Chains A and B, each alone.
Chain A
Amino acid sequence: MSDEKKPGLHSPLRRKLLMGMAALPAMSLLPRTSFAQAPATSAINTTGLAVTDTEVTVGILHSVTGTMAISETGSVQAEKLAIDQINAMGGVLGRKIKFIQEDGASDWPTFAEKAKKLLVNDKVAAIMGCWTSASRKAVLPVMEQYNGMLYYPTFYEGLEQSKNVIYTGQEATQQILAGLDWVSKTKNGKSYYLIGSDYIWPRTSMKIARKHIEGKLGGKVAGEEYFPLGHTQFNSVINKIKLTKPDVIYAAVVGGSNVAFYKQLKAAGIDLSKQTMLTISVTEDEIDGIGGENIAGAYACMKYFQSLDNPNNKEFVAAFKKMWGEKTVIGDVTQAAYLGPWLWKMTVEKAGSFDIDKIAAASAGIEFTKAPEGYVKIHPNHHLWSKARVGQAQLDGQFKVVYETPELIEPDPFPKGYQ
């Protein structure tokens, strides 16, 4: 067009031009396949997100400074790996993914501020982020107010469901019930000692665990104790454990406290190969700090272990180590974070649009067959169907999978009878 002589307003070309313009609306009625592979930006982005003809911007929002950095770094790495792989395959709807990374600094208000910045200023099409429940609770009102899409990777307490969040980790019942059933059956668990860090996730988890133990398994709870985050003195509870001699110690101690907890257990002479210990808060990442020799023999109930033996996982572990180094370990949440960009890509392609409302509606039923954990599917309640697995910690810091539920477990964030 620009090479031609420009038609003036009164030229005979003008009528043709007008006719052409009149035909434009009709063209939009043509099926989308008649366009080139990458659909027009105006058609797939009607709400002004950061989508150009060649690029789409997403946000990564985790703590890379502060106390949570040690846990969240794995999630950042997994998300960057997924974005890299998607871009290598041609991106999303013909657009390469560009990311803007923000630091939540282990501080919940900062998370809220940065989430708002990503949505309002940068107009990102999705945010992969948050880790602790507190950060998610801080970000959630922002996501709902500005209509964003958050892919949240951590296993968490449930009691939440939002149009603007996809929960790629397990909600509490998915992680707790199957593990307790297993330990009650195979280890003949009758009495349980519940130990957790003192905040919403362990408290809710223990509430569910107690109801299941007392109501469904016919066992009893020998004790229930909580310690502040970062607590390092577990001697009193270890003494109580020695006195009450529970069949199973059930632990949801998080973060750095784990190091002190397991070392002191060992020092007190509690041998985890004889005393059954089931934890829902120790992944390969935590063992890195605890040391394999201090925790070997304990069981963890997760949906993913780095040692899972399936082709998807082998490929994932190899790619992850290639990108981030041989020494890195991959925990449950890291894998869940890896799912985020992939699920988002598939949802966008199913919806044929980057619009948040369309993605929210199209999310239910999205299946990811290449997931390292095997296979996942998004439930209409925006959580994932997934399996629960029990692994036994080994000296080398890896888990040996000893049990896996035969079927995917349905996510149930508001479990009846457990509230």
Chain B
Amino acid sequence: MINSRFFNRSELIGFLSLLLLLAVILPFFLDTFRLNLVAKYLTYAFVALGLVMCWGYGGILSLGQGVFFGLGGYCMAMFLKLEASSVANTKIQSTPGIPDFMDWNQITALPMFWKPFHSLPLTIIAILLVPTLLAFIIGAAMFKRRVGGVYFAIITQAIAAIATILIIGQQGYTGGINGMTDLRTLNGWDIRTDHAKVILYFFEVFVLFACIITAQFIRLTKLGRILVAMREQEDRVRFSGYSVANFKIFAFCAAAMFASIGGAMFTLQIGFMSPSFVGIVPSIEMVIYTAVGGRMSIFGAVYGTLLVNYAKTMLSESFPELWLFGLGGLFIAVVLFFPSGLSGIWRDHVARHIDRLIAMRSEKSKRAWAIKSAADGAPAE
């Protein structure tokens, strides 16, 4: 059994049931198309997970997580795009060997900052470090000056707007509003086949659980406790001698890194990246996933993301002209009736019953165990 101090009982149930759902039930019951959709939803779960850490625990509301999601996605897309733009594939262009959108924009040589993305290891390092570094700079600039709360949220939103304008404006280097499309292979491996999608799905679930465990680990360390303390009484933490800014920067950077991993996964799963994931609207949507799931709950974030995106797909397939109203209604209902989200429903209505059930069981089994071990002559614990 997993160290009982690492997960308490209800968290363990959450962990195992999520594992069962994602790794066994969904792949078993869904066809590849639907499974690929779930994979897409899960890429947002990385962002939601980051938001649980930085917003739920640290109390730092970022409305610009799309920037980090996009950065990770674009890093991955640049690598895949270069691979898809081999000289043989781009013979009809005036400059073969560069991505097609550069050719349309009269760029004749690959820009310097694209060059590192010829290499997969450098790309992976970029996915992990570039957004984290950006988050560090933003965080250091803001938190050291004690900019927080609503002001910080507004600034992150401005950054999201700037990032979109930059990407769309520099279309020769970024693909503009079209984004980077038609990505085909990863180191020669065709990522578009059904087979590849399934493998990528399991890889993504694996990475997601690695991130969940990391988040849980951070939560349980002293660091995590300071984050919560900071959220509740920032001044008291500061007066106790802790550098509040540094802890905030850390939480923000971690959230950025999670979002970036999600973005990279998204590009792999869907085969393209576009500025429509970077702007203000998607960034706010990502906060909504977390809110629906319950901003204090790591597992709630994953379930919230799955639920909202599933509702989005289903409603838009059934009512193409009215679906946005349905989705809006869902958000209002959740906020009005379940202010702590799915995890609140779980805690108040389900977990209690399970606890009682288990308590009854374990008492019985403890008694049975005692009798049995006494009979075996084994030392009772």
Contact = CB atoms under 8 A, between A and B. Distances in A.
Contacts of B324: 65
B323 interface: yes
Contacts of B271: 112, 141
Interface stretch (A99-107, A175-183, A388-396): A99-107
Contacts of B165: 228
A229 B164 CA distance: 12
Contact of B179 (A101, A138, A157, A419): A138
A68 to B, nearest CB: 12
B33 A121 contact: yes
Contacts of B168: 198-199, 228-229
B192 A207 contact: no
Contacts, number: 93
A203 B323 contact: no
A108 B274 contact: yes
Contacts of B171: 198-200, 203
A233 to B, nearest CB: 14
Contacts of B106: 207
Interface residues of A, number: 36
Contacts of B92: 414
Nearest to A106: B276
A307 to B, nearest CB: 30
Contact of A102 (B37, B176, B277, B320): B320
Given A109-B274, A145-B192, A103 B321 contact: yes
Interface string B315-342: 0110011011000000000000000000
Given A137-B178, A228-B168, A109 B37 contact: no
A108 B104 contact: no
A116 B178 contact: no
A288 interface: no
B169 interface: yes
Contact of B272 (A64, A102, A138, A419): A138
- For the residues of A in contact with B, the DSSP-based class is helix
B379 to A, nearest CB: 60
B104 A203 contact: yes
A11 B276 CA distance: 69
Contact of A107 (B94, B181, B276, B320): B276
B178 A65 contact: no
A184 B177 CA distance: 33
Nearest to A103: B320
Interface residues on B, range: 35 or more
A69 to B, nearest CB: 9
Contact of B181 (A138, A198, A199): A138
A325 to B, nearest CB: 16
B270 A108 contact: no
A172 to B, nearest CB: 11
A145 B192 CA distance: 8
A120 interface: yes
Interface in A152-199: 157, 159, 198-199
B105 interface: yes
Contacts of A64: 320-321
A117 interface: yes
Interface in A89-111: 101-103, 105, 107-110
B7 interface: no
B178 A199 contact: yes
A200 B100 CA distance: 11
Interface in A19-78: 64-65
A117 B320 CA distance: 14
Nearest to A159: B104
B104 A200 contact: yes
A108 B276 contact: yes
Interface string A222-240: 0000001100000000000
A101 B321 CA distance: 9
A102 B316 contact: yes
Nearest to B282: A107
A109 B182 contact: no
A102 B101 CA distance: 28
A198 B276 contact: no
B295 interface: no
A133 B106 CA distance: 18
Contacts of B104: 157, 159, 200, 203-204
A200 B40 contact: no
A121 B182 CA distance: 21
Given A64-B320, A228-B165, 9 more contacts: A103-B316, A112-B271, A113-B313, A120-B32, A137-B181, A137-B182, A138-B272, A200-B101, A200-B178
30 contacts: A65-B324, A101-B320, A103-B316, A103-B320, A103-B323, A105-B316, A108-B274, A108-B276, A109-B272, A113-B37, A113-B313, A120-B33, A133-B178, A134-B177, A134-B179, A137-B182, A140-B181, A141-B181, A141-B192, A141-B271, A145-B192, A157-B104, A159-B104, A199-B171, A199-B176, A200-B101, A204-B104, A228-B168, A229-B168, A419-B94
Interface of B: 32-33, 36-37, 40, 92, 94, 101, 104-106, 165, 168-169, 171, 176-179, 181-182, 184, 192, 270-272, 274, 276-277, 313, 316-317, 320-321, 323-324
Q: Which 6 A-B pairs have the closest CB atoms?
A: A103-B320, A134-B178, A120-B33, A137-B181, A141-B182, A137-B178
